Amino acid sequence: MTRVASIDCGTNSIRLLVADVPPEGPHTDLLRRMEVVRLGEGVDATGRLAPEAIERTRKVLVEYATAVRDLDATAVRMVATSATRDAANRAEFEDMVVEVLGQRPDVVAGTEEAELSFIGATASLDAAAAAHGAEPPRPPFLVVDIGGGSTEFVLGDATGVRAAHSVDIGCVRLTERHLHGDPPSAAQVRRAEDDIRAALAAVRALVPVGEAASLIGLAGSVTTVAALALALPEYDPVAIHGSCIDVDGVREVTAFLLAATREHRAALPVMHPGRVDVIGAGALILRVIMDEFGLPEVVVSEHDILDGIALRLARG
């Protein structure tokens, strides 16, 4: 058993997992945390990480570093993704991480981000399906990780990844580009849809999505859509992990979120405060993916790149 810590710093949130990982089989969570710091706020327009965004991230990272030490993790890896890749001043962010964590973050390419997401998402699919009394999803899997700045698409099965591609559409980017109203106008939503479809054309050219037997959806936008589709009275990761939401359910939730005011979204019992402003765009990405690729349902995973980082760190 190896105790490791993984940190995923994305465009919208920074997350921590400390877990005991055996040589094979499921890992055991000791601590799992998520804080919305909006590191990528404004980066799509300015090309730079804002000083206040770096400071928000630093404050949370100090807490994470303390937890890692207190739990005696033998190894730690921090992965930084879309917002950091895009930033002209990413060295300022990296220097801050060295000061707090004692090591540089790995600013990974979109392809590695996709592979780590695939590993994390697929490791527990059979157990999650069994917990819901359902049949396991059939491979090949199309794993889709909707982040704040980018979305990763990975096609693969038990033998590994067949194809992967990352595109710069994410819930923060699309909100900042297009969804400015409260609620957004129909014209704003159409422009966001056009942006998504243009990105999906590039995905289709590089990833044979037609081979996928099951869509696996990851990250906070997808899990929040699932919580709303399941009409949960509160956010419940156990109920969400492994659940299956059909395309009509996704369409209904997306239409609801895009028509709701910020105040209405914030009052939803399953809504994390940090997702209130960007959940409409995240839901829209999922809905357009399912419609464009003809995918009738999505299997929802609470496990993602964070778990993939831990598994690769412990097992190589």
Q: Is the pLDDT of residue 249 over 70?
A: yes
Please check whether residue 79 is in contact with residue 113, taking contact to mean a CB–CB distance below 8 angstroms. Answer: yes
What whole-number distance in Å separates Cα of residue 46 and Cα of residue 310? 33
For the chain, the average pLDDT equals 92
Q: Is the pLDDT of residue 192 over 80?
A: yes
Averaged pLDDT, 30-34: 94
Q: Is the pLDDT of residue 177 over 80?
A: yes
Q: Which residue has the higher pLDDT, 263 or 119?
A: 263
Side chain identity, residue 193: E
Least confident of 120-124, 182-186, 227-231: 120-124
Averaged pLDDT, 193-220: 95
Q: Is the pLDDT of residue 133 over 70?
A: yes
